[in-house]
């Protein structure tokens, strides 16, 4: 089984947007739909005085989101066994919906437990800052 993972930090986000639980619902729903994923359960929690965490448990794996509106930052963790194309399509939909200035993505593709961890997680992982997607 191959797992495709995208982990990204969105910076320069609209603080109002990423502090809205309804936006998290929309983001989870529309990105899951774009990737053709099966949503088993969603959970969204709003923190006081600010910040939202949201997760979607998928038949294919998961989507996790966490915001820091005071910093304009949204963290995304998207993992699926549907292949890199479906995972990227879901991530692209997130990029369309999230108002941001830049995104720092990290894509990981690995075969689950068929290789030693040293080959799955290289010792050096360069971070590339990209313009908005």
Active-site annotation holds for 81: yes
Active-site annotation holds for 4: no
Active-site annotation holds for 67: no
Active-site annotation holder among 32, 66, 67, 82? 66
Active-site annotation holder among 32, 61, 67, 82? 61
Active-site annotation holder among 81, 95, 110, 133? 81
Q: How far apart are CA 95 and CA 91, in angstroms?
A: 6
Please give the positions annotated as active site.
61, 66, 81
């Amino acid at each position: 089984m191959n797992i495709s993972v995208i982990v990204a930090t969105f910076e320069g986000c609209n603080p109002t947007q990423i502090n809205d639980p309804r936006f998290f619902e929309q983001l989870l729903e529309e990105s899951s739909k774009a990737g053709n994923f099966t949503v088993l359960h969603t959970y969204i929690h709003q923190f006081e005085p600010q910040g939202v965490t949201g997760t979607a448990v998928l038949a294919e794996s998961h989507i996790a989101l966490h915001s820091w509106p005071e910093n304009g930052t949204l963290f995304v963790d998207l993992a699926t066994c549907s292949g890199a194309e479906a995972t990227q399509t879901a991530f692209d939909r997130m990029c369309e919906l999230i108002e941001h200035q830049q995104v720092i993505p990290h894509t990981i593709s690995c075969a689950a437990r068929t290789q030693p961890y040293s080959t799955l997680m290289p010792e050096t992982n360069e971070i590339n800052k990209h313009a908005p997607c």
